[in-house]
Chains A and B, each alone.
Chain A
Amino acid sequence: MSPLLLKRFTATSCIGRGAAQTLDSLIAERGGLARCVFETVDLDTHIGMVAGVDDQALPAELARFDCRNNRLAEMALREDGFEEAVREVAARLGPRRIGVFVGTSTAGILETELAYRERDPVSGALPARFDYAATHSSFSVADFLRRRLRLEGPAAVVSCACASSAKVFGTARRMIEAQLIDAALVGGVDSLCLTTLYGFHSLQLCSPSPCRPFDIERDGISIGEAAAFALLERVGGGVASGDVLLLGVGESNDAYHMSAPHPEGNGARRAMRGALSDASLDPGAIDYINLHGTGTPSNDRSESQAVTGVFGAAVPCSSTKGATGHALGASGALEAVISALTLRHGLMPGGVNTSRVDPTLTAHYLKRNRTAVLSRVLSNSFGFGGTNCSLIFGRAG
């Protein structure tokens, strides 16, 4: 593929509101997971909750979009000059030339969960205030962002479970390559809800403690929430030193199981090799890998085998989910932004919470931060249904 410029990027998660706070937390090896006190949830688990989401108002004309998911999107838009950067690009290129591709797994389904508690005792009807299209629909978050930023190009939500917001980079690069658009707002927004908390609990995939990816005692995920965005544009106008570029996208399917990864990570290998080939790079060109690294015994085992199968055991890698939790459909975009920060600041983040790396996992897992000049990093995202996506980002010299 032709490289694309990340003209602007931002992320809001439990480790920070905006890039500066996120970077500070990474530098301090500080996680944001805490015992679950969300809504009326009575599960013994830790979560990565973003503070202040409930207090975030939406613009009055978009009141019908009001839900936790769109509030989180609104919070993130206001950081790092992101909204202004989108408006500048829209003014320069025209709103019809900018696509909106956003990943989410559950959108505003929390509203539906709450509405079901308030069904009419006689008719069973949902309360009048419940707005399906603006909150429940997976598309609601892309619809909100288009209206909020007055963008008129092609738009879609990609909903491929936990690979959703990595795959949006693929959709955007193809639309730009096809010259349907000149720029794209890509990203992911997923927010806490009962479906995922009780759902992952039913699969016995939630850890009672803060998750410990790649640890010998790892025992599951910690669910988080996040909104992360990038504004992608053609390199055309040239790049400046320190600019971050999208270099390659690789996508595959396991064709193996709905909720378990292929034991040897065959699908993950194909995604990573696909990204390398898309970027015309050899495995040796990758300086650091931001793992999917959820902290379940099977995911980390499968991913470690896949990583060493493609890259050998020397390339440093880590999961930032020990700090952020697993932001599900937003994790791909969150970790894309973290990858951009690692490139820009020469920081390989150590895996927070991991005290003893499982010796049977052969990948070179970093427990502590390491600084180095980084040129290219790879970020992995895998999801239920066996869907895999790997992204490669690079730093302009």
Chain B
Amino acid sequence: MKIAAYIGGIGVLGPGFANWGEASTALSGRGPYEPSPTVLPPSSLLPATERRRTGRVVKLALTVASEATDRAGMAAEHLKSVFSSSGGDGQNCHEICLALATTPREISPTRFSNSVHNAAAGYWSIATGATPASTVLCAYDASFCAGLLEALVQVSVDREPVLMVAYDTEYPEPLNGKRPISDAFGAALVLTPGEEKNSSARLVATLGQALPDSMPDTRLEALRVSIPAARSLPLLRQLALGVPGRTALEYLDVARLIVEVEPCRSAS
């Protein structure tokens, strides 16, 4: 079976780009890449009470997921989803560990509910009313590839569209010293089994061994290696270039996720 899907919409947010439009300009070389700290907009999807309860990781995931579904012109409520992150909400995890190392050990109920790795997926489904299945993965530095592979396999086997969201945020100290993640980065893709009105490219994936792609721009390469979700950059660059090509993404050990990108003829 071919592991393949069409890209219906892309969402990106990271240091130096607020959306896919800005990212594709920098990634394709049509404009310069100017790194600046990631600015997370408050999510308009959540009511004010819930917005206060959620941290950076939820804002990040919801922002890129919204951009991807908007660009795809697809209603989020009918989409299955795959969320993938190396570490979830680092600030929240730090606060819990701090509280548990203090007397008395008191964790707030909200902190605990937000500590689950699937918190962002949960808030997404509540905010959009999405009832189809969502799967939430972790594969450390390979989390983006694991999420993309899972989503492509779901589309290929079940022949239904899937929203894939990969996202990571930084830890505060002292965890940052053990797991440095430089800033927040998220990428979301709406993947469909057939070509749709908004399809921009077709992806065909295989597992293999090859030299992994890096980014030609040194600052983008620095970004790629400093945030797990930014391991997606070589694929995003290929999509931004809008020409046929293939990328070899770092997966587990020596394994690579090799993705052939074929732009759709109708895409401009």
Contact = CB atoms under 8 A, between A and B. Distances in A.
Contacts of A255: 77, 125-126, 128-131
A177 interface: yes
Contact of A180 (B3, B119, B133, B140): B3
B139 A156 contact: yes
A152 B252 CA distance: 8
Interface in A214-258: 251-258
A329 to B, nearest CB: 9
Interface string A144-161: 001000001011111111
Contact of B115 (A117, A131, A195): A195
Interface in B230-261: 251-253, 255
A262 to B, nearest CB: 10
Given A124-B173, A142-B139, A386 B125 contact: yes
B116 A252 contact: no
Contact of A253 (B3, B111, B134, B251): B134
Given A180-B207, A198-B100, A154 B177 contact: no
B122 A387 contact: yes
A139 B139 contact: yes
A241 B108 CA distance: 52
Nearest to A1: B157
Interface in B82-106: 84, 86-88, 93, 96-101, 105-106
Contact of A160 (B121, B140, B143): B121
A137 to B, nearest CB: 5
B100 to A, nearest CB: 5
A65 to B, nearest CB: 13
A387 B175 contact: no
Given A139-B139, A171-B150, A178-B157, A105 B131 contact: no
Contacts of B93: 109, 112
B154 A387 contact: no
B136 A158 contact: yes
A16 interface: no
B146 interface: yes
A179 B114 CA distance: 36
B124 to A, nearest CB: 9
Given A195-B100, A202-B112, A252-B131, A386 B126 contact: yes
A156 B151 CA distance: 13
B252 A155 contact: yes
B219 interface: no
A167 B135 contact: yes
Contacts of B113: 203, 258-259, 384
B173 A383 contact: no
Contacts of B252: 146, 152, 154-155
B126 A256 contact: yes
A126 B178 contact: yes
A8 B207 CA distance: 27
A156 B125 CA distance: 22
A385 B119 contact: yes
A88 interface: no
A193 B1 CA distance: 42
Contact of A202 (B86, B108, B119, B179): B108
Nearest to A163: B118
A175 interface: yes
A78 interface: no
A171 B157 CA distance: 11
A133 to B, nearest CB: 6
Contacts of B96: 195, 199
A157 B137 contact: yes
Interface string A119-138: 10000111000111100111
Interface string B188-227: 0000000000000000000100000000000000000000
Contacts of A383: 116, 118
A259 B109 CA distance: 9
Nearest to A110: B100
- Of A142, A199, A253, most B-chain CB atoms within 10 Å: A253
A194 interface: yes
Nearest to A257: B126
B150 A179 contact: no
29 contacts: A119-B101, A119-B174, A126-B174, A139-B139, A139-B143, A154-B207, A157-B139, A158-B136, A160-B118, A160-B134, A160-B135, A167-B135, A174-B158, A198-B99, A198-B107, A199-B111, A199-B115, A202-B106, A202-B108, A202-B111, A203-B112, A252-B132, A253-B125, A256-B126, A384-B116, A385-B122, A385-B123, A385-B125, A386-B122
Interface of A: 42, 96, 105, 109, 112-113, 116-117, 119, 124-126, 130-133, 136-139, 142-143, 146, 152, 154-161, 167, 170-171, 174-175, 177-180, 194-195, 198-200, 202-203, 251-259, 266-267, 270, 274, 383-387
Interface of B: 1, 3, 77, 84, 86-88, 93, 96-101, 105-109, 111-119, 121-123, 125-126, 128-140, 143, 146, 149-150, 153-154, 156-158, 173-175, 177-179, 207, 251-253, 255
Closest 10 CB pairs of A and B: A385-B122, A199-B112, A251-B133, A159-B117, A138-B138, A116-B101, A156-B146, A253-B125, A132-B178, A139-B140
